């Protein structure tokens, strides 16, 4: 099956879409680091890692926390919510597949 599907590229695009609403508020270095951590989490989930014990919300907070000072409270909550929802949907999609 030569579909040309590249999971790493898809995960990178997903991470970019999740972080996009707050990207302009971050430095280039912060954005790069945030994207790298986000991709890493999704790659671990794709590899079959168990759902993190503290839950998706706690993981999302941990990912976004380093850039929190650059964001308003509503931007922070939105980024955490987007990331939490994406992780839950990603894992749910894997169970269905």
pLDDT at position 6 = 86
Cα 71 to Cα 67: distance, rounded to the nearest angstrom: 7
- Scan for tokens 């749910």, then name that residue: 92
Residue whose token pair is 């850039």: 67
Of the candidates 44, 16, 43, 12, the residue with the CA atom closest to the CA atom of residue 31: 16
CA distance 59 to 76: 14
What does the DSSP 8-state code read for residue 47? T
Residue 2 lies in a domain: no
**Average pLDDT per consecutive 10 residues, the chain (97 residues; last block may be shorter):** 76 93 95 95 85 83 96 96 93 63
- pLDDT score recorded for residue 12: 92
Is the distance from CB of 55 to CB of 35 less than 8 angstroms?
no
pLDDT at 96 (0 to 100): 45
CA pair distance 22, 59, nearest whole angstrom: 18
What residue numbers bound the domain in which 43 lies? 7-96
Task: For residue 71, tell me if it sits in a domain.
Answer: yes
1 part of a folded domain: no
Structural domains counted in the chain: 1
pTM, two decimal places: 0.83
């Amino acid at each position: 099956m030569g579909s040309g599907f590249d999971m790493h590229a898809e995960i990178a695009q997903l991470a970019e879409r999740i972080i996009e609403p707050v990207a302009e508020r971050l430095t280039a270095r912060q954005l790069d680091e945030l994207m790298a951590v986000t991709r890493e989490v999704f790659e671990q989930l794709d590899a079959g890692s168990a759902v993190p014990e503290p839950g998706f919300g706690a993981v999302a907070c941990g990912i976004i926390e380093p850039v929190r000072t650059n964001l308003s409270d509503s931007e922070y909550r939105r980024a955490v919510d987007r990331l939490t929802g994406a992780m839950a949907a990603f894992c749910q999609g894997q169970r269905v597949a």
